[in-house]
Chains A and B, each alone.
Chain A
Amino acid sequence: MSLPAAVPMTVHARGCNELPVLRERGQREVFCGLTGIVWLHRKIQDAFFLVVGSRTCAHLLQSAAGVMIFAEPRFATAILQERDLAGLADCNEELDRIVHELLARRPEIATLFLVGSCPSEVIKLDLGKAAERLSQAHRGRVRVLNYSGSGIETTFTQGEDNCLKALVEELPTAEPTMRSLLVLGTLADVVEDQFARMFQQLGIQSVQFLPPRQAGDLPAVGQGTLILPAQPFLGETVRALIGRGARLIEAPYPLGAEGTFAWIQAAAQAFGVTDERLRLATARPMERARSALARFRDTLAGKRISFLPDSQLEIPLARFLQRECGMQPVEVGTPFFDRQLLAGELPLLPDNLRLSEGQDVDLQLDRVRSDRPDLTVCGLGLANPLEAEGLRTKWSIELVFSPIHGFDQAADLAELFARPLVRCERLAV
């Protein structure tokens, strides 16, 4: 078997400042950061997420969790009632009461996140203080942390960013000479294990993941820590880690064969792994990913795709679909641009791409209707209405709930986009 050379990449000599971006500030049709709880609580198995909010917040969580509703989940909402709004003192007392009850009910919980919402922020309920107070009260039993998932501060995936940022403050300090790789962002366990094996093969000794599967297993961070984000929406966490001395590895995200290779390559280079060793470790999975991807090329190549802003994964996904599947991105909308985190992606984007930041959903839908792309990636509220207008759609939330990172998931990722098109072909009614 011949070994592939390092991936040839067409890289545009261009900074992101030169990309024309359409900025919109109208109605956003995006979930708030509370939604992250739906996957975070599956990942961190001994953590409980207590939203301090309203009935709306509870309803959002259960609607987003949808069919995942089962048994007793490790999240809940402390719903503010009329009398809680009368005075903050009582509000804090009530919160303490609820936390005591909860911890009595759930002895297995080791970390409790108090998650702020719009209402708790507007009434200025200080969950930071509450977390300190409750940590004291339950010392030795549970660690209480807090972050904001509110819709006035965060969109969809930013909730995870805030959650991980809260964990960064808890990370022990590593010796400055201790070199380690910190992979950032919730990944399916199976993907995490694949990456761990890969880095092991490359001889990178110390590899850690944040969030960990058990909230107690926190990685240490220090000047020798190199951060490799697996998700493009963790800017605040990255900056908090940099604040603790860590350094950021700039790379595209591990979506698709090319993206995964470039991501691993960036880590390998940072750790001084030889090209030969990198090629040896990546050749087979890379080949596997490429041939698996080839099956979807016929379906996807030449098809036009638009992204409505949602998960913040839009830019890396558009890059993957364009470069590896031959799709033509029409408009790529993203809730916000984080230049620092997208630095590895932007040079890989085509020149004629229409990028938009923020949203004005009615205007954006007007553009979708006039562009008539073959596929539109959008939230659940918009999908059926667009289908009814004869436009094929892909729900963006599935991209956050499915294992899509890494070589062996590259074809699964392509398949998620191919499926609505294949289905459309098949249906004769």
Chain B
Amino acid sequence: MQLTLWTYEGPPHVGAMRIATSMRDVHYVLHAPQGDTYADLLFTMIERRDRRPPVTYTTFQARDLGGSTADLVTTTLRDAYERFRPQAMLVGESCTAELIQDQPGALALGMDLPVPVIPLELPSYSKKENWGASETFYHLVRGLLAGAAPEPGYQRPVRPQGQPPLANILGPSALGFRCRDDVQEIKRLLSSLGVDVNVVAPESASPADLLRLPVADFNICLYPEIARTTCAWLARTFAQPTVTTVPIGVGATRDFLFEVGEVSGVDVSQVLDGEGSRLPWYSRSVDSTYLTGKRVFIFGDASHALAAARIANEELGFNVVGLGSYSRESAREVRAAATQLGIEALITDDYLAVEQQVEALQPELVLGTQMERHIAKRLGLPCAVISAPFHVQDCPARYSPQMGFEGANVIFDGWVHPLMMGLEEHLLNMFRGDFEFHEDAAPSHLNNGLERPAAPAQLEEQTADVPVPGEPCWAPEASTELHKIPFFVRGKARRNTERYAAERGLATITIETLYDAKAHFGR
């Protein structure tokens, strides 16, 4: 058993729902009790989807157990087929149905439904949402295309001269972070290179579209969490190479263009030399000097966390002080990236562990999911959301991709906005303790003034000046001096000073101790 307050990922059948909901003309019959229908609201509320997810639940009850639950599956399947007439059906079960072992997949296969039926076995007690989405997409693609697989050893014919290369864009899905706009941005980039798009899937694709996947010259694995397994199978089966760079950030977008060039044989130099993103200039302009060395904590799914770490480090000049992910499947890559940055990766799906680390690190900016937003809000830290899971406010109306050059522009704005502006920060440091321009004031361009001052106060409370026996206590003037330190580093200064004093067996912390400790720990 695992004690859980908040979860980053839902169960694997929610992943399957994401695939079904992304697509057209697919219907998913899910053997599940009524409460599991809550999952519909993820799509209709968070993403404001205007249609119900194409999912029919059997909603079996206790009184059905030990008797008619299997019949319920077949009736539900037949009714759902009749009503929705999909091109293909997915059949699966949620955690509870897995325990009663009706095997809805096998039942469905035995029914001779007039459309392809893809049975899904997604173990709920060991796997999670992204894995479920990835498996579902893979089984759907494979189920539809296995019959069309060429002999082993198949070589792709050379593309005729003058015919533009053709790519599939794989991975964008319902409840994926900013997928809608990313796809548009990537399509634009590809078209500037003269690469045509064959199929985008799962988002907006129908089973008939999936049947056309092998026509493309190569696949772009835009969201590895969803499409990596499928791309690997397509590479093995149809000899389609995969572009694996996730084009988030200026550097990664350039790498992506380069990789597309390699795989497709088109000349990408013009686009690489073209206008690109405004991020590099914005980052070099003098106003951005104040961004240098900002301490940033990053947490999210592996792709977005890795991309954020690279951008933070190479493109904005931040110091990445924490990097982590809930995607255990990609733990290795995240660990490697963290090592490169000289830190240790946090691989966990325990919200409290993340919160603890944020609290200990006291970063100046938190980049994370919906969960980290809450952590940051509680601790009074600036935050930007960079990864699923996200809430309704992170599904904006305006065009706001993360990928490509425009994505880099959006990221620059999105990450810098929550911070104090350059000059403002200098003034703040100069006039600490000023009666109206004090450190607990929110950045002047953000009207969250109600939230900000409260949070540091809470923090203070936890470490209030209550003498603990055997530990150094703060002299009043040292305590006053401590309050002149900007709030976002104050917690750290307090802890460092206390540690410094304790290590030296000092009973009282004076102003001198405070500055001794500052010199000792440096920054």
A contacts, CB < 8 Å to B: 26-35, 52, 54-60, 62-64, 66-67, 69-73, 75-82, 84-85, 91, 94-95, 97-98, 101-102, 118-119, 121-123, 150-153, 155, 362, 379-385, 387-388
Interface size, B (range):
35 or more
Name the one of A34, A55, A94, A382 contacting B11, with C-beta atoms under 8 angstroms.
Answer: A55
A31/B44 contact (C-beta < 8 A), A58-B7, A102-B3 known? no
CA distance in complex: A80, B374 (Å): 26
Cβ A79 vs Cβ B4 within 8 A: yes
Given A102-B3, A381-B38, list of 14 further CB < 8 A pairs?
A30-B37, A56-B13, A59-B11, A63-B41, A69-B370, A69-B374, A79-B1, A84-B1, A121-B62, A122-B96, A122-B100, A381-B41, A385-B49, A388-B50
**A-B pairs with beta carbons under 8 Å apart, 19 shown:** A27-B56, A54-B125, A56-B36, A59-B10, A59-B11, A60-B38, A69-B370, A70-B378, A81-B125, A84-B125, A91-B1, A122-B65, A123-B99, A150-B33, A150-B62, A382-B40, A383-B45, A384-B44, A384-B48
- Digitize B95-126: 1 where CB-to-A-CB distance is under 8 Å, 0 elsewhere: 11001100000000000000000000001111
CA distance in complex: A116, B48 (Å): 32
CA distance in complex: A66, B393 (Å): 12
> Nearest Cβ in chain A — how far from B113, in angstroms?
18
CA distance in complex: A349, B141 (Å): 54
Residues of A within 8 A of B123 (CB): 82
| Top 3 closest pairs, chain A to chain B, by CB | A32-B35, A381-B40, A151-B35
> Nearest Cβ in chain B — how far from A267, in angstroms?
35
CA distance in complex: A75, B126 (Å): 22
Cβ A95 vs Cβ B1 within 8 A: yes
Cβ A152 vs Cβ B62 within 8 A: yes
Name the one of A62, A66, A384, A388 contacting B7, with C-beta atoms under 8 angstroms.
Answer: A62
Cβ A54 vs Cβ B40 within 8 A: no
Cβ B40 vs Cβ A152 within 8 A: no
B34 CB-CB contact with A under 8 Å:
yes
CA distance in complex: A33, B61 (Å): 13
B233 CB-CB contact with A under 8 Å:
no
B59 CB-CB contact with A under 8 Å:
yes
Residues of A within 8 A of B35 (CB): 30-35, 56-57, 60, 118, 150-151
Residues of A within 8 A of B4 (CB): 55, 58, 76-79
B contacts, CB < 8 Å to A: 1-7, 9-11, 13-14, 33-42, 44-45, 48-53, 56-62, 65, 76, 79, 83, 94-96, 99-100, 123-126, 128, 352, 370, 374, 378, 391
Closest to A94 in B: B1
A-B contact count (CB 8 A): 184
Cβ A151 vs Cβ B5 within 8 A: no
Cβ A78 vs Cβ B36 within 8 A: no
Cβ B95 vs Cβ A119 within 8 A: yes
Residues of A within 8 A of B374 (CB): 69-71
Residues of B within 8 A of A382 (CB): 40, 44, 52
CA distance in complex: A67, B123 (Å): 29
> Nearest Cβ in chain A — how far from B502, in angstroms?
25
Cβ B128 vs Cβ A55 within 8 A: yes
A81/B96 contact (C-beta < 8 A), A30-B34, A32-B34 known? no
> Nearest Cβ in chain B — how far from A329, in angstroms?
24
> Nearest Cβ in chain B — how far from A398, in angstroms?
13
> Nearest Cβ in chain A — how far from B133, in angstroms?
14
Closest to B14 in A: A59
Closest to A361 in B: B37
CA distance in complex: A148, B44 (Å): 28
Residues of B within 8 A of A123 (CB): 99
Residues of B within 8 A of A122 (CB): 65, 96, 99-100
Residues of A within 8 A of B352 (CB): 72
Residues of A within 8 A of B48 (CB): 384
Cβ B34 vs Cβ A62 within 8 A: no
CA distance in complex: A275, B94 (Å): 57
CA distance in complex: A383, B7 (Å): 25
Name the one of B7, B37, B41, B44 contacting A55, with C-beta atoms under 8 angstroms.
Answer: B7
Cβ B44 vs Cβ A385 within 8 A: yes
CA distance in complex: A118, B96 (Å): 6
Residues of B within 8 A of A379 (CB): 41
> Nearest Cβ in chain A — how far from B28, in angstroms?
13
Which of A71, A76, A383 neighbours the largest number of chain B CB atoms within 10 Å of its CB? A71
Cβ A380 vs Cβ B96 within 8 A: no
A54/B95 contact (C-beta < 8 A), A27-B59, A28-B34, A94-B1 known? yes
CA distance in complex: A35, B38 (Å): 10
Cβ B11 vs Cβ A76 within 8 A: no
Closest to B44 in A: A384
A67/B391 contact (C-beta < 8 A), A122-B99, A388-B51 known? yes
> Nearest Cβ in chain A — how far from B241, in angstroms?
36
A71/B1 contact (C-beta < 8 A), A119-B95, A384-B44 known? no
CA distance in complex: A71, B376 (Å): 10
A385/B41 contact (C-beta < 8 A), A56-B10, A77-B4, A81-B2 known? no
Residues of B within 8 A of A84 (CB): 1, 125
Residues of A within 8 A of B2 (CB): 78-79, 81
Cβ A73 vs Cβ B41 within 8 A: no
Cβ A380 vs Cβ B10 within 8 A: no
Closest to B125 in A: A82
Residues of B within 8 A of A388 (CB): 50-51
Name the one of A26, A28, A55, A150 contacting B124, with C-beta atoms under 8 angstroms.
Answer: A55
> Nearest Cβ in chain A — how far from B161, in angstroms?
47
Cβ A63 vs Cβ B38 within 8 A: yes
CA distance in complex: A388, B50 (Å): 6
> Nearest Cβ in chain B — how far from A95, in angstroms?
6
> Nearest Cβ in chain A — how far from B4, in angstroms?
5
Closest to B375 in A: A71
Residues of B within 8 A of A69 (CB): 6, 370, 374
Cβ B99 vs Cβ A119 within 8 A: yes
Closest to A360 in B: B79
CA distance in complex: A79, B95 (Å): 11
A27/B57 contact (C-beta < 8 A), A32-B33, A58-B4, A78-B2 known? yes
Residues of A within 8 A of B370 (CB): 69
Closest to B391 in A: A67
Residues of B within 8 A of A384 (CB): 44-45, 48-50
A55/B95 contact (C-beta < 8 A), A67-B391, A381-B38, A384-B50 known? yes
Residues of B within 8 A of A98 (CB): 1, 3
CA distance in complex: A71, B37 (Å): 27
CA distance in complex: A419, B503 (Å): 62
Which of A60, A64, A151 neighbours the largest number of chain B CB atoms within 10 Å of its CB? A151
Residues of A within 8 A of B60 (CB): 152
Cβ B124 vs Cβ A380 within 8 A: no
Residues of B within 8 A of A71 (CB): 374, 378
Closest to A60 in B: B38
